[in-house]
Chain A
Amino acid sequence: LYICFRTVEPLEYYRRFLKENCRPDGRELGEFRATTVNIGSITTADGSALVKLGNTTVICGVKAELAAPAVDSANKGYIVPNVELPSLCSTRFRSGPPGEEAQAASQFIADVIENSQIIAKEDLCIANGKLAWVLYCDIICLDYDGNILDASAFALLAALKNVQLPSVTINEETGLSEVNLKQKNPLIIRKHPVATSFAIFDDTLLIVDPTAEEEDVATGTVTIVTDDEGRLCSVHKPGGSPLTGAKLQDCITRAVTRHKEVKKLIDKVIKSIKPK
């Protein structure tokens, strides 16, 4: 009987739970779903990570290619993120060119990379004006159950930490590049941005890490990206119901706590794959 209620009147259903300060899946308002990370599973990619946030599953593969740097920034490489929400992850996505949500997510990830300076583009340069690395970061959602932005950002960070770039030298005589696949160096990750998303209900209540259902009934969403020293990288609030300054401050505090949790998890996973 409660399943009928849930489908017919989802908002009321949620309101009843929120009044008791909890959610249908048993979580508290400020609790994240169980997060699992698996690094380095795709051997054909230069770096990869699979992140599961509850049921939301996202995989990120990084492939590095060589290219000539742009004329106006001759000492910088490129990072090209792309988020794909294929039809197989949810019935809401039809096959064809990338929809609005996929494009918005891609842009969000690009902004995170830009704002947080996660990788200094200068590090990707091999020879000024001649050769630089291009990192193609492809993020594919395998199962969509809400909070795709957090999962994608996390997957991206984990995959980049896993990337090993072969050393490239330029032969002085021929001017051609020689790639040494045997000697690989890890990528220098300067900052560790972590995204925390909230859904807003009825202009007042905030819940962390919304599932797909919660996102549908929510009146707005906020995503906060924090950095290592508790600094704010970006705040993403695409419209939706208005939020008071105090509430925003609460979100920021929660985001900083989440950052610590995520950082611990990533470090643990990286350490566990070290012996190779």
Chain B
Amino acid sequence: PPQMRGSRSKALPDRALVNCQYSMATFSTGERRRRPHGDRQASELALQLKQTFEAAILTCLYPRSQIDIYVQILQADGGEYCACVNAATLAVMDAGIPMRDYVCASSAGLAEDTPLADLSSPEEAAGGPRLVLALLPASGQIALLQLSARLHQERLEAALEAAGEACRALHAVLDRVVRERLQEVTALLGD
């Protein structure tokens, strides 16, 4: 869960600093990972998360403070970045930090011209083109788009569409969960 803390050294005078840390449990992948934090993949993903959330969180409301987002992967089966983004969105909402919109993420790929949404680990390893999309569903704005492996320009539309669909479906689920939780919490407070 994100926590608010006063940060001494890197304080920005007009907005909050968003700090992300990404960590994988040693038992999350098929072979035991020896270094949960320091490796390149972790740093890259943490940076991507940071950039995504800096765009989504209304940081100007919290000057001179720091918002820490820690994500821990318990089991990795493809689409780790997407799961992190979705989880972090819910956590930031749970903490009551205002955001522009939900951030929903999904990966998509193409297998012989058929767009596939939400690739799992064997599908990612198959080597086809892979697209990762983080979307702010209400406005349709794209927070992050990443493409690996060669993709024909015409196919891009189809893959984007598939990812967009998945994000919108996710948005419906996340929204419902947040509302249910809100009802629970207000019911508890009301008692």
Contact = CB atoms under 8 A, between A and B. Distances in A.
Contacts of B27: 42, 44-45, 48, 61-63, 136, 138
Contact of A86 (B30, B72, B76, B77): B72
Interface in A31-61: 41-45, 48, 59, 61
A140 interface: yes
B25 A138 contact: yes
Contact of A95 (B21, B30, B71): B21
Interface residues of A, number: 21
A44 B121 CA distance: 12
Given A48-B27, A138-B27, A87 B76 contact: no
B26 A87 contact: no
Q: Which of B23, B30, B71, B74 has the most CB of A within 10 A?
A: B74
Contacts of B68: 87
A142 B72 contact: yes
A91 interface: yes
Interface in B129-172: none
B120 interface: no
A42 B72 CA distance: 14
A65 interface: yes
Contact of A87 (B21, B25, B77): B21
B22 to A, nearest CB: 11
Nearest to A65: B32
B52 interface: no
Interface of B: 1, 3, 5, 21, 23, 25-30, 32, 37, 68, 70-72, 74-77
12 contacts: A44-B27, A44-B28, A44-B75, A45-B27, A48-B27, A59-B74, A61-B25, A65-B32, A88-B1, A88-B71, A95-B21, A140-B25
